[in-house]
Amino acid sequence: MTTRYFGQPVKRNEDPRLLTGRALFVDDVDLPGMLHVAFLRSDLAHARIRSIDVSRARQRPGVVAVYTAEDLGDFWRHGPLLVPPPPVEGIVFHQRTQVTLAKDKVRHAGEAVALVVAESRYLAEDALEDIFVDYEPLPAVVHLEEAAQDRVLVHEELGTNVSAHVVQRKGDYESARAQADVVIRRRFVYDRGTAAAMENRGIVAHWDPKAETLTVWDTTQAPIPIRNGLAAMLGLSEHQVRVIAPFIGGGFGPKIMMFYPEEMLLPWVSMQLGRPVKWIEDREENFYATTQERGQIHDAEIALTRDGRVLGVRDVFLHDQGAYAPYGLTVPINSQCTLLGPYDVPAYYSEFTALFTNKPIVTPYRGAGRQHGVFVMERLLDIAARELGMDPAEIRRRNFIPPEKFPYNNEIIYQDFAPLVYDSGNYEPALQRALELIDYRRFVEEEQPRLRAQGRRVGIGVVCYIEGTGIGPYEGARVTVESTGKVSVATGIGTQGQGHFTSFAQVVAEQLGVDVADVHVVTGDTDMFHWGTGTFASRGAVVAGNAIHAAAVRVRQKILRMASEKLEAAEEDLELVDGVVRVKGVPERSIPLGQLAVEANPLRGAVKPGTEPGLEASDFFGPERGATASGVHAMIVEVDPETFLLTIRKYVVVHDCGTVINPLILDGQIQGGVAQGIGNAFYEQLHFDENGTLLNASFMDYLIPTATDVPPIVGDHVVTPSPLNPLGIKGAGEAGAIPVGALFAQALENAFSDLGLEIREIPLSPNRLYELVREAQEASGHGASDGPGPGTGSP
Amino acid sequence: MAQRTTVTVTVNGQEYTREVEPRLLLSDFLRHELGLTGTHVGCEHGVCGACTVLLDGQAVRSCLMFAVQAQGHRITTVEGLAPGPDPEQLHPLQRAFWEAHGLQCGFCTPGILMSMVPFLEENPDPSEEAIREALSGNLCRCTGYQKIVEAVKLAATMGTRER
Ligand code: FES
Ligand code: FES
């Protein structure tokens, strides 16, 4: 190939539309006769509904309809279980999924109890005030350990708050422990945050009674499953339903929770009323009604030899599902499965209990449980290093899976229901590179002692992680050369800012020798392509990317076959360059692809038997298992000893996600992920009171990082191609966010190492850090006024 | 039904007169009455900056104003920066964002552009620190800000070239 598009930092095709305000987002859809929906949501986290009186709301001028659970008739239902429990022996699993509207009882604050349809959103919200709900408040199950006691039940009929119980094992932990020189045991807590995509959720549903078609614009990451599910729920054929996920203002996981109650109700309401209806979530609703994540308590133990070799890990944890668990066990399974990270650990015992609580629903949010596992393992290693007098980087290096051990079987069942087998990896060079970039030795040996002597609180951290990415089942795509010579690509996944319009175009441009700007990618419209699952688990580039590659390869073969006849040259002697196919070395003997496309689709004469018309092909890709990406983050941080505010002096990411399609887009994914990780580690925490009320449900009180909180990130890549797909790529969407909590803990601890500060929880905050430092000071006998002591030498 | 008031505003050089409820937010007016949906709404309480527009050349949050308060004023929205998505016609700041990959999902982008236009007019050669400070009123959940900062820097150099 003469021009390489693959691997280049190509500017994005979608940007001019986004930059000029001409890109369509769901809230931009405006249809004639459209009505607006507002939801009445419970203020209480747990209460019995004695009665609901909507009569006044119904009479308000401008109100078209009001529905409670009662009014839904047969359509009242539980949402489907999205991910069934994995095939682990002895598993306990109690299925409870969200309902369209709460009936009899509300189980979390923000659960919808009624909806109003009116001529405008303002009127619909006015009418919410007219509805009277008579609640009998119940004590709320808020904390995980409280939930485990089963004194108050979220779902009474279960007789327990246990949603699931899973035990997985690798090797024999007890005998590993018996041989250990050192055993360390700690409790770790990882609390809740929210994805807070800048665009809230929204749905527009339009039932056209004459055409008998339903069109739904939805801020979903998975339009095809939404279409299929809606068709089934509404008794329609799949071809009567079109779901469009247009431009989406950030997804990060919660936009793939299927089905949100609103997603089921809006289409139904449109069919009832025969008019288009729109609901756009507001930010306050987003804090309750959009799913959240994190919320685990781990009791973990690590057994090591004196020279720092890990013999085994035991971890028993509680996982917060929230009030319902539509996503099954994906999050805790990911925690369980990712915990061992890049380390060669022979024995592992992991047991979790997932619990229902009276809090908003938990489903995957960028990282999807991996953070927690990584946090536990990295913390255990840090504490072990301290106890053994080892350098934290060294203890990691000593335990890495060596390159010759790949594929490496981790033996623990992963979210795709197969044991997680690491396809490829080479961890030591990434660690080495990160240490160089952060200038580890010099910092530890020279700079830190000097700064400490000046009374400054500076700390360094370095952490490692792996991420299972790009899981199946499959994605598909259709690639078409049009008569203009431009190429169109249709695939089923939704896209939320990852640059798929460009990276997919690059994959096609590489095969067909056309300009990236001439490849038009359509994603997320089920009328354009209706096979596939969605964008989650860092799988867009891996799975859809490879499907597009496969389809493009087939189109290329068609082009070569046809052109070889027309140009009377062997296929091997042809090349595709600049939108033409030509004979190598004889550029005048060429045909533009557009012309070939016209000739491949003749109006007269016959298409040759055994060939298909047009320069078009569809293909699919289903990886046999996920590709395992990995990386190392390192940071130098300074804490203001008065305010406990942080300044991140340097942040380094060295990442391995196999072959890179577009380095510009990849850097953006990593940087954005780190920013979310920083928020999660130090700024963002959802505070629920003992009644299950969320105390900080606004951007005024829930602080997401701004441009002054996020440092520039120094990045580098190591490339270990995945052997599992032709392009050699691994997913990258979540990597930036995964290890940041662990990194903060280590670096902050290091800044206060003279006090023996130990951090066992995330998220932190300036206040919380202050409290922890105070406790450490008291325990170590340092007065609060004591300046920083000398460095311990071990970071 | 609620009373209505007449409001006349000039948006992107064009004058509009509409009958609106006094409680209608300027953001909703622009988006739903005028169909200028480039202005986005991320929080409705003045924190995220996605709804930023220029009111007589000053950046304001359109979710914190009522449409009637804009009576007689001149407003510029993101649609006013360029006549359309034709790459040739982009505003230098838009070109810089394209070049530097200063956007991912693009939801925050119109508000960021509208905040940075007056900022760069007043600070043609800003330091990184000043850019970050100026950006701190706009939330972006996708980019981690680094490439936004780079885009603003780039725009500053492009701006001087053009002058
Ligand atoms: S929508 Fe106006 S500041 Fe967020
Ligand atoms: S690009 Fe998505 S919020 Fe900024």
Of B48, B99, B146, the CB nearest to A712: B146
Residue A34: count other Cβ atoms within 10 Å of its Cβ.
17
Interchain CB contact of A741 with B (< 8 Å): no
Higher pLDDT, A349 or B84: A349
Q: Fold for domain B5-80?
A: Ubiquitin-like (UB roll) (3.10.20)
Q: What is the mean pLDDT of residues A19-23?
A: 96
A140: nearest Cα among A159, A118, A161:
A161
C-alpha distance from A133 to closest chain B C-alpha (Å): 25
- In the sheet with A475-481, reading across from the earlier edge strand, the strands are A519-523, A487-491, A475-481, A615-621
CA A251 to ligand 2 centroid distance, Å: 10
For residue A199, the chain B residues in CB contact (below 8 A) are: 40, 42, 105, 107
A675/B143 Cβ within 8 A: yes
**Position A513 pLDDT exceeds 90:** yes
Phi and psi (nearest 5°) for A48?
Answer: -85, 140
Mean pLDDT calculated for residue range B36-47: 97
Asked whether the CA dihedral A761, A765, A768, A773 is positive or negative, the reply is: positive
Mean per-residue pLDDT of chain A: 92
Q: In this predicted structure, which of A461-475, A568-582, A585-599 has the lowest mean pLDDT? A: A461-475
* % of chain A at pLDDT higher than 90: 77
Q: Across chain A, which distance is largest between two alpha carbons, in Å?
A: 94
User: Average pLDDT of A780-792?
Assistant: 49
| Pocket-forming residues, ligand 1, beta carbon under 6 Å | B 41-44, 46-51, 61, 63
Place of tokens 């850097």: A667
Measure the CA–CA gap between A357 and A153, rounded to whole angstroms.
Answer: 8
| Chain-chain contact of A122 with B136 (C-beta, under 8 angstroms) | no
Residue ID of nearest Cα to ligand 1 atom 3: B46
What does the pLDDT read at residue A674? 95
The label of the residue with tokens 């509208």 reads B114
Architecture of the domain made up of B87-162:
Orthogonal Bundle (1.10)
Contact A243, A26 (CB under 8 A): no
Q: How far is A685 from chain B (nearest CA, A)?
A: 16
* Residue A788: predicted pLDDT: 42
**pLDDT range class, residue A606, cuts 50, 70, 90:** low
Q: What pLDDT score was predicted for residue A538?
A: 66
* CA A667/CA A370 separation, integer angstroms: 21
Nearest to A592 by CA among A611, A602, A578, A604: A578
Q: Is the pLDDT of residue A9 over 50?
A: yes
A532 shares contact with chain B (CB less than 8 Å): no
pLDDT of residue A1 exceeding 50: no
| Residues of chain B contacting residue A498, judged by C-beta atoms under 8 Å apart | 104
| Nearest C-alpha neighbor of A479 from the set A547, A542, A580, A552 | A552
The helix, strand and coil proportions of chain A, stated in percent and rounded to the nearest 5, come to 30, 25, 40
- State the nearest Cα–Cα gap between A200 and chain B, in angstroms: 7
- Report which DSSP code applies to A712: P
- pLDDT of residue A614 exceeding 90: no
Residue A271 clears pLDDT 80, i.e. is over it: yes
Least confident of A115-129, A134-148, A463-477, A747-761: A463-477
Contact B43 A698 (CB under 8 A): yes
Average pLDDT over residues A569-577: 94
Whether the predicted pLDDT of A537 surpasses 70: no
For residue A783, what pLDDT is reported? 53
Mean pLDDT (whole number) for A341-350: 97
Taken in order of first residue, the domains within chain A and their CATH numbers are: 15-21+472-621 (3.30.365.10), 296-471+625-786 (3.30.365.10)
* Residue A601: pLDDT over 80: yes
Q: Is A29 on the interface with B (CB under 8 A)?
A: no
Helix (H), strand (E), coil (C) string for B56-119: CCEEEEHHHCEHHHHCCCEEECHHHCCCCCCHHHCCHHHHHHHHHCCCCCCCCHHHHHHHHHHH
In terms of CA atoms, which chain A residue is nearest residue B35? A28
Contacts of A653 in chain B (CB under 8 A): none
Average pLDDT of the residues in A50-68: 98
Tell whether the model's pLDDT for residue A63 goes beyond 70. Answer: yes
Can you give the pLDDT at residue B78? 98
- Look at residue A380 and tell me whether its pLDDT is greater than 70: yes
Most informative mutation of B47, B78, B108, B113 for ligand 2 (most atoms within 8 A of CB):
B108
> Where in chain B are the domains?
5-80, 87-162
CA–CA separation, B135 and B119 (whole Å): 9
pLDDT at A310 over 70: yes
> Residue A479's pLDDT is what?
94
For chain A, give the percent of residues with pLDDT over 70.
Answer: 96
Mutate to test the pocket of ligand 2, among A198, A219, A286 (most ligand atoms within 8 A of CB): A198
For residue A700, the ligand closest to its alpha carbon is 1
Q: What is the pLDDT of residues B57-71, one digit of tens each?
A: 999 999 999 999 999
CA distance B42 to chain A (A): 5
Give the model's pLDDT for residue A474: 83
Confidence of residue A467 (pLDDT cuts 50, 70, 90): confident
A542 has pLDDT over 70: yes
Ligand with smallest separation from the Cα of B145: 2
| Mutation test residue for ligand 1: of B41, B112, B114, the one with most atoms within 8 Å of CB | B41
Closest chain B residue by Cα to residue A246: B105
Contact A631, A655 (CB under 8 A): yes
* pLDDT surpasses 90 at A613: no
pLDDT at A794: 36
pLDDT score for A790: 35
* Phi (first) and psi of residue A602, to 5 degrees: -75, 150
- When pLDDT is averaged across residues A36-51 and rounded to a whole number, the result is 98
* Structure tokens belonging to residue A460: 């360094």
Which ipTM was obtained for this model? 0.97
Average pLDDT over residues A242-262: 92
- CB atoms under 10 Å from CB of A454, counted, come to 9
Rounded to an integer, the average pLDDT of A388-394 is: 96
**Chain A residues with CB-CB distance to B47 below 8 A:** 698-700
- Which of A419-428, A558-567, A709-718, B104-113 is the most confident on average? B104-113
On whether any CB of chain B is under 8 Å from the CB of A15, the answer is yes
Distance A249 CA to ligand 2 centre (A): 7
Our mutation pick for probing the ligand 2 site, out of B48, B51, B141, B147, counting the most ligand atoms within 8 A of Cβ, is B141
CA distance to partner chain A, nearest, from residue B5 (Å): 16
Q: What is the mean pLDDT of residues A26-38?
A: 97
Q: Residue B105 Cα, ligand 2 centroid: separation in angstroms? A: 5
- Diameter of chain B measured on Cα atoms: 55
A114-134 average pLDDT score: 98
Rg (CA), chain A: 28
Q: Which two tokens stand for residue A273?
A: 């009323």
A59 touches chain B (CB under 8 A): no
How far is A460 from A330, CA to CA, in rounded Å? 33
pLDDT at residue A785, as a whole number? 42
* Comparison of pLDDT for A532 and A234, the residue scoring more: A234
Taking CB atoms and an 8 Å cutoff, what residues of chain B touch A667? 101, 147
Closest residue of B to A697, CA-based?
B43
Q: Which atom of ligand 1 is nearest to the CA of B40?
A: 1
Atom 3, ligand 2: residue with shortest CA distance: B140
pLDDT at A535: 66
